[in-house]
Amino acid sequence: MASAVRYIPGITKGAKTSLPAVLQIACSVKPGVKGNRAGILKVSDDSVELCVAAKPKDGEANKAVVDLVASVLGVPKSSIDILKGLKSREKTLIISRFDSKVEAEQLVNDTIQALKDAIRD
């Protein structure tokens, strides 16, 4: 079964090549909603459903997605990138900077809980 939030461990290949550990979040985005409806709608096993007020034009909705997730998780916007789905409603986000002292399973669980706590009623 796929998970909406996954931990991908870092990779070290020699002294010069390394990839940091990242969190990967699968999102389903509804752009262009009224401002009062923007936010996290649902966190399922497969994806995080969220709405943003920005229109999907000139990357504005993508920027709004990054802003929303950064504010919910309390991480800098610069630590979030869109890995897949720049021109799609289905997006895969990666978060590359977080507290590396926290165990992977706890980090995933804390992230899922923060997303669930932010669900709009």
Q: Which of 60, 50, 2 is nearest to 27 (CA)?
A: 50
- What pLDDT sits at residue 1? 40
Query: In whole angstroms, how far apart are CA 56 and each of 14, 87, 100?
Result: 41, 8, 34
Roughly what angle, to the nearest 10 degrees, separates helices 104-117 and 60-73? 110
Work out the angle at residue 111's Cα, subtended by the Cα atoms of residues 108 and 113, and round it to the nearest 5 degrees. Answer: 110
pTM of the model: 0.88
- What pLDDT sits at residue 81? 95
| CATH fourth-level superfamily of 5-117 | YggU-like (3.30.1200.10)
The tens place of each residue's pLDDT in the chain, 121 residues long, gives: 458 999 988 877 766 667 788 899 999 999 999 978 899 999 999 999 999 999 999 999 999 999 999 999 999 999 999 999 999 999 999 998 776 677 888 889 999 999 999 998 7
Domain assignments of the chain as residue spans, ordered by start: 5-117
Which pairing describes strands 22-30 and 48-51: parallel, antiparallel, or unpaired?
parallel
Q: Which of 33, 28, 26 is nearest to 8 (CA)?
A: 26
